[in-house]
């Protein structure tokens, strides 16, 4: 029988991201089938071991990159250090589009686009938590959440000159050559990755408070302009 579950999520410390609230119902049996897409790299269950990716027992409630003994990417470690916690909502966003949450993640997976598939998968993964019952049963009416950006936002053509004008503020932290302690390089990124990353801060899916504030002040055109400018910056 299908089991349903429902979860509301408090991100990071005590920040409630109202715009990005996750409400999902999932079918465990269907989720088990969908997990076959992850199996090439991830195991779950009693004898689960790390493979290409870490095993996923107990991933709910854990910080990103916190499983001992697995060699995570730098990006994933930085996300964990910033306070990215795996909750129904952040897992949902990561599985939908891994790079939206962690730009240079080593997980090469293009993402599960259907909210219902992700909800089913998460319902299945939840059973491998230490305390699945901590994630309450669902309201049957709850719906999956789609974090995907509106295609119109992705299609915006940014004006690089306007981007240059806006960028001076960014350059106080982001060095063109990518040096700078804990501050990643943001030049020569594909436009879509840049836009998706900025919106993930804006939606508070990414945890970094300074970047949440920076992105929160920018509108869609400004983000597109910055993406266009930084893409070609040598």
Q: Which residues contact ligand HEC (rule: CB under 6 A)? A: 37-38, 40-42, 52-54, 56, 59, 64-65, 67, 72-73, 75-76, 78, 82, 86, 91, 94-95, 102-109, 112, 121, 169-170, 172-174, 182-184, 186, 194, 197-198, 206, 208, 210-211, 214, 226
Nearer to ligand HEC, 139 or 178 (CB): 178
> Which lies closer to ligand HEC via its Cβ, residue 4 or residue 122?
122
Tokens read off for 193: 């990755």
Q: CB of residue 52 vs ligand HEC: minimum separation in angstroms? A: 5
140 or 164: whose CB is closer to ligand HEC? 164
- Would you say 139 or 179 has its CB closer to ligand HEC? 179
In whole angstroms, how close is the CB of 18 to ligand HEC at the nearest point?
21
State the nearest-atom distance from the C-beta of 97 to ligand HEC, in Å.
Answer: 11
Closest distance of CB 21 from ligand HEC, Å: 20
45 φψ region: left (φ > 0), alpha (ψ -120 to 50), beta (else)? left
- Which of 200, 203, 220, 213 has the alpha carbon at shortest distance from 16? 203
- What Cα–Cα distance (Å) separates residue 79 from each residue in 47, 152, 154, 163, 182? 28, 28, 24, 26, 11
Cα of 106 vs its chain's centroid, Å: 13
CA distance 67 to 59: 9
Residue closer to ligand HEC by CB (options 56, 139) is 56
How far apart (Å, rounded) are the C-alpha atoms in residues 2 and 218?
Answer: 43
Q: Which residue has tokens 């129904």?
A: 88
CA distance 167 to 148: 26
Closest CB to ligand HEC among residues 139, 169: 169
Whether the Cβ atoms of residue 223 and residue 195 lie closer than 8 Å to each other:
yes
Shortest Å, Cβ 78 to ligand HEC: 4
CB of 170 to ligand HEC, least distance (A): 3
């Amino acid at each position: 029988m299908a089991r349903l579950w429902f979860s509301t999520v408090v991100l990071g410390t005590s920040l409630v991201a109202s715009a990005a609230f996750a409400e999902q119902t999932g079918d465990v049996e269907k989720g088990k089938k969908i997990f076959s897409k992850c199996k090439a790299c991830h195991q779950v269950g009693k004898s689960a071991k790390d493979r290409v990716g870490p095993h996923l027992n107990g991933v709910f409630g854990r910080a990103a990159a916190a499983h001992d003994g697995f060699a995570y990417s730098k990006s994933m470690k930085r996300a964990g250090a910033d306070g990215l916690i795996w909750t129904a909502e952040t897992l949902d966003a990561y599985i939908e589009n891994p790079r939206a949450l962690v730009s240079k993640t080593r997980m090469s997976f293009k993402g599960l686009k259907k909210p219902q598939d992700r909800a089913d998968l998460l319902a299945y993964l939840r059973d491998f938590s230490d305390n699945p019952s901590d994630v309450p049963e669902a309201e049957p009416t709850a719906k999956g959440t789609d974090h995907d950006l509106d295609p119109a936002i992705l299609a915006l053509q940014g004006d690089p000159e306007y981007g240059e004008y806006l960028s001076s503020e960014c350059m106080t932290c982001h060095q063109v050559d990518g040096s700078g302690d804990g501050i990643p390089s943001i030049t020569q990124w594909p436009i879509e990755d840049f836009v998706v990353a900025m919106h993930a801060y804006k939606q508070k899916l990414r945890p970094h408070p300074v970047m949440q504030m920076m992105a929160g002040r920018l509108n869609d055109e400004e983000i597109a302009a910055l993406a266009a400018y930084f893409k070609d910056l040598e």
